[in-house]
Amino acid sequence: MAKTKHEVSLTPMLNAYPDSLGGTLSDIADLLESSCKDAFGAFYILPSVFNTDLDRGFSVIDYHLNELLATPQDLERIRALGVQLKLDFILNHASVLSPQFQDLLKNGEASKYKDFFIDWNDFWAGCGEMMPEGYIQPAPEYLHKMFFRKPGLPILMVRMPDGTEKPYWNTFYQQVDYPCPDARELVAALGMQYQSACALAESLQIQLEAGKRPAELELGRWELLRSKLTDLLESRRRYLGQMDLNVASPLVWEFYSDTLHTLAGYGACIVRLDAFAYAHKAVGEHNFLNEPGTWDILARLQMLADADGVTLLPEIHASYSEKVYEKLAAKGYAVYDFFLPGLLIDALERGNADTLAGWAQEILDKHILTVNMLGCHDGIPMLDLKGLLPEERIQSLIDLIVSRGGMVKNLHGQKNVYYQVNATYYSALGENDAKLLMARAIQMFMPGKPQVWYLDLFAGKNDYDAVARAGEGGHKEINRTNLTRAQIEEALEKPIVTKQLELLRMRCNCPAFAPGADVSIESRGHVLTIEWKHDGHTACLQADLQKLTYHIDTV
C-alpha cells in the first residue's frame, strides 16, 4: 500500500447524510452503537451536517453544525466507538448566504470581502468584449481550455448597493428569486390606488412564481409603471448559490485555515476536498485541474492540514486515460477509486473478472492507496472509465443501468456527453440480492479502504418519487432516500442486509486487512481470488462471478 501524508486505517467507512438513517446524527450514533456495532471504523458525514442551503449540503453558509441535525455530543458518541470522522471541506465555493458574500452585498466596494469572490469582469479585463448585459464575453482563444459545468458562462449577476450589476464567477448551482411585494408595498413605492395594487400584486405573484424575471412581466394596464416596478423588484432580488472563492485573496486563505481548524475541532481525521480541482483559475488556462496551480494550492493546504493533524483526501473526477490518480498517488495522497463501481457491474454482467483484476493489480503494482465504493451520494461514474474500458462497453453499461431505471447525467448540459448515471447500486444490478452481495464481498477484498453508501447497505431501490419532488435537476435524489427507524428495523431482518454486515465486521476486525499487507490477485475468467496476508493472519476470497457464489477463509 502507498505511504500517505498521514496513516489511514483500512477499516470500512460508512457514508451518509446526517439525516439519512433515522432523521438525525443522534439516530445514526444509536445505530452504530447497536445493530451496526463493530462494522465500521470510520464515518464520512456529508456536509448538510453544517449550516448549508442548496445542493444537499454542498453550498456551505458556514461550518457551524446544523442545529436541526447534529450536536457536538453526537460527534463525541461516534468517536467514543473508535469510529474516525471524515468531513467535507468545500474549498472552491461558499454560499451566497455566507457572511462574506452578505457583507459584499451590503457594503459593495467598501466591503472587507470585495476580493473574496471572483469578479468576472476583473478576471477577464482586456480579454474580451463587454456585453450589453454588463459582463465580459471572453474571446474564443481564452475559452478553448475552459470546462463549464452548466450551459453558458458560469456567472451570477449581482445587484450592488448602488444599484449597479456585477457578474461573479459561479461554477455550480444558483437560484435567483424575486419576492413579490404586497399591495401596501406597491401603494407606497408606486403611488397606486389600493384596489389596483391588490390586482397587480395578484398578477405579479402568479408570474414571479412561474419563474418570470421583472423585465419579462406582462403588466397590461400598468405598463407605464414598468420602470419603477422593475427597480423595486430588482432591489428585492434574493439569491441562493455557490460563489467561487478567489484563491489569490489572503482572506480566503485565512478562511481555509480557520475551516480546517474547525473541522479538526469536530474530531475529523480525514478531510475530503470537494470540487478541489476547480479552485485554481488563470486567464488562458484550464479552470479544472490547472497545472501547476492546482498542485500549488494542494501543497499550501497540506501545510495548513499538518498544523491540525488531519489527512486530506482530494476529490478529482477524471478519465482513466488522463492518469490523474497516478499524479495524486505520487504526491502521497489516497485517491478515490471511481473506477470500481462501473468495473464491478461490468464484471458481474459479463461473468468475467479479468478487467477488474487487472485494475486491482495496477493498484498494487503502483502502490496506490485508494478509497473505493459501490454507490455514493453522487452517480455511478462513467466518464472515469474512458481508457480503461472500450467505449462500447461503457455505453453498454450506461444502457443497462438506464434500462433498470437509472438516469444519465450529461456533461455540463450537453446531451450524449456522459458523465455518470444516477441510480442506487442495488437497482443498477437489477435488484438482484446475489449480485449486490457478490459486489460487496469483492469490495471488501479490493486493495484500499472501502466506503459504504448507507442505501446500498439496506438494498435501497431507485426513488422516483424523490426525483419528482426535487423537480428539474433532481435526478441525484434517486439514490438519497432518508430511511426512517421503522424502515431500518425492517431492513435489518433481511438476509441481504445481515450478510453485508457480516462482511463488514469481517473486514473491520480481521488483522489481515492492514496497511502494509501482502495482497495477491488472480483471475481465471469467471473465478476471482484475492488474498490478504499480514503478521501471520490471512483472509482469502474466492468468487465465481457466473454462479454468483463466493467463499471466504480467514486465519
Q: What is residue 452's three-state secondary structure? A: strand
Q: What is residue 186's three-state secondary structure? A: helix
- Report yes or no: 136 and 129 within 8 Å, Cβ to Cβ: yes
Comparing CA positions, the residue from 498, 491, 423 lying closest to residue 458 is 491
Comparing CA positions, the residue from 388, 416, 379, 284 lying closest to residue 326 is 388
Rounded to whole angstroms, the Cα distance separating 316 from 369 reads: 15
- Report yes or no: 454 and 398 within 8 Å, Cβ to Cβ: no
Q: Write out the three cell numbers for 14.
A: 460508512
| Catalytic residue of the set 274, 456, 463, 477 | 274
Q: Is 315 among the residues known to form the active site?
A: yes
Q: Which residues pair with 554 in a beta bridge?
A: 539
Comparing CA positions, the residue from 271, 275, 252 lying closest to residue 263 is 271
| Catalytic residue of the set 115, 306, 315, 433 | 315
Q: Is 202 among the residues known to form the active site?
A: no
Helices and strands in the chain: count of H runs, count of E runs: 20, 24
Rounded to whole angstroms, the Cα distance separating 126 from 136 reads: 9
- If phi > 0 it is left, if psi is from -120 to 50 it is alpha, else beta; for residue 309 that is left
- Long-range CB pairs of 25-29 (<8 Å, 24+ gap) are 25/49, 25/69, 25/70, 25/71, 25/74, 25/75, 25/78, 26/70, 26/71, 26/74, 26/77, 27/485, 28/74, 28/78, 29/74, 29/77, 29/78
Q: What is residue 521's three-state secondary structure? A: strand
Question: Catalytic residue numbers?
Answer: 274, 315
